[in-house]
Protein backbone atom coordinates (compact mmCIF):
# COMPACT_ATOMS: atom_id res chain seq x y z
CA UNK A 1 0.00 0.00 0.00
CA UNK A 2 1.32 3.44 -0.92
CA UNK A 3 1.40 6.22 1.66
CA UNK A 4 -1.27 8.13 -0.27
CA UNK A 5 -3.53 5.06 -0.28
CA UNK A 6 -3.11 4.66 3.47
CA UNK A 7 -3.82 8.36 4.03
CA UNK A 8 -7.05 8.06 2.02
CA UNK A 9 -8.04 4.91 3.93
CA UNK A 10 -7.55 6.61 7.30
CA UNK A 11 -9.26 9.76 6.01
CA UNK A 12 -12.32 7.77 4.90
CA UNK A 13 -12.51 5.88 8.20
CA UNK A 14 -11.71 8.58 10.76
CA UNK A 15 -11.51 12.11 9.33
CA UNK A 16 -14.93 13.33 10.49
CA UNK A 17 -14.39 12.08 14.05
CA UNK A 18 -10.76 13.24 14.29
CA UNK A 19 -11.41 16.59 12.65
CA UNK A 20 -14.32 17.14 15.02
CA UNK A 21 -11.99 16.43 17.95
CA UNK A 22 -9.57 19.00 16.52
CA UNK A 23 -5.84 19.11 16.14
CA UNK A 24 -5.14 19.37 19.86
CA UNK A 25 -7.33 16.42 20.86
CA UNK A 26 -6.12 14.28 18.00
CA UNK A 27 -2.52 15.15 18.81
CA UNK A 28 -3.06 13.98 22.40
CA UNK A 29 -4.27 10.61 21.09
CA UNK A 30 -1.19 10.45 18.85
CA UNK A 31 1.10 11.12 21.82
CA UNK A 32 -0.68 8.44 23.86
CA UNK A 33 -0.04 5.95 21.06
CA UNK A 34 3.64 6.96 20.93
CA UNK A 35 3.79 6.18 24.66
CA UNK A 36 2.24 2.77 24.04
CA UNK A 37 4.81 2.18 21.29
CA UNK A 38 7.60 3.13 23.70
CA UNK A 39 6.35 0.51 26.18
CA UNK A 40 6.13 -2.13 23.44
CA UNK A 41 9.72 -1.34 22.40
CA UNK A 42 10.89 -1.51 26.01
CA UNK A 43 9.15 -4.85 26.54
CA UNK A 44 10.29 -6.20 23.12
CA UNK A 45 6.76 -7.49 22.52
CA UNK A 46 6.77 -8.35 18.80
CA UNK A 47 3.01 -8.72 18.35
CA UNK A 48 2.33 -5.52 20.28
CA UNK A 49 5.08 -3.68 18.38
CA UNK A 50 3.31 -4.23 15.05
CA UNK A 51 0.01 -3.03 16.51
CA UNK A 52 1.51 0.08 18.13
CA UNK A 53 3.53 1.04 15.04
CA UNK A 54 0.31 0.80 13.02
CA UNK A 55 -1.57 2.92 15.57
CA UNK A 56 1.13 5.62 15.60
CA UNK A 57 1.14 5.70 11.81
CA UNK A 58 -2.66 5.97 11.69
CA UNK A 59 -2.82 8.85 14.19
CA UNK A 60 0.05 10.68 12.46
CA UNK A 61 -1.73 10.24 9.15
CA UNK A 62 -4.98 11.58 10.59
CA UNK A 63 -3.17 14.64 11.96
CA UNK A 64 -1.64 15.26 8.55
CA UNK A 65 -5.07 15.10 6.94
CA UNK A 66 -6.56 17.51 9.46
CA UNK A 67 -3.74 19.96 8.69
CA UNK A 68 -4.05 19.41 4.92
CA UNK A 69 -0.63 17.77 4.53
CA UNK A 70 -0.12 15.14 1.83
CA UNK A 71 2.25 12.79 3.66
CA UNK A 72 3.53 11.08 0.53
CA UNK A 73 4.43 14.39 -1.11
CA UNK A 74 5.98 15.73 2.10
CA UNK A 75 8.11 12.61 2.60
CA UNK A 76 9.23 12.59 -1.04
CA UNK A 77 10.11 16.27 -0.95
CA UNK A 78 12.21 15.92 2.20
CA UNK A 79 13.78 12.45 1.81
CA UNK A 80 13.38 11.55 -1.88
CA UNK A 81 16.84 12.77 -2.89
CA UNK A 82 18.70 11.20 0.05
CA UNK A 83 19.53 12.47 3.50
CA UNK A 84 18.30 16.08 3.87
CA UNK A 85 21.63 17.08 5.48
CA UNK A 86 24.25 15.30 3.35
CA UNK A 87 22.16 14.15 0.33
CA UNK A 88 23.71 10.66 0.55
CA UNK A 89 21.97 7.29 0.58
CA UNK A 90 22.76 5.82 3.01
CA UNK A 91 23.29 8.84 5.20
CA UNK A 92 26.96 9.80 5.60
CA UNK A 93 26.48 12.50 8.25
CA UNK A 94 28.83 12.33 11.21
CA UNK A 95 27.19 11.37 14.52
CA UNK A 96 25.69 14.27 16.43
CA UNK A 97 27.07 15.09 19.87
CA UNK A 98 24.27 13.28 21.76
CA UNK A 99 24.80 10.11 19.68
CA UNK A 100 28.42 9.64 20.65
CA UNK A 101 28.98 7.36 23.56
Q: How far is CA 39 from the centre of its chain?
A: 17
CATH of the domain at 43: 1.10.287.1080
Specify whether the CB–CB gap between 53 and 101 falls below 8 A.
Answer: no
Q: Which has the closest alpha carbon to 57: 83, 33, 78, 81?
A: 33
Which residue range forms the structural domain that includes residue 90? 3-99
| pLDDT tens for each residue of the chain, 101 residues long | 999 999 999 999 999 999 999 999 999 999 999 999 999 999 999 989 999 999 999 999 999 999 999 999 999 999 999 999 999 999 999 998 887 75
Helix (H, G, I), strand (E, B) or coil at 100: coil
Whether the Cβ atoms of residue 7 and residue 62 lie closer than 8 Å to each other: no
Nearest partner of 41 among 52, 32, 30, judged by Cα: 52
How many domains, in total, are found in the chain? 1
Amino acid sequence: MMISEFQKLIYDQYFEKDNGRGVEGTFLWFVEEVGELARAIKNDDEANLREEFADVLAWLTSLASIKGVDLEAAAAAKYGAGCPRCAATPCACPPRSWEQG
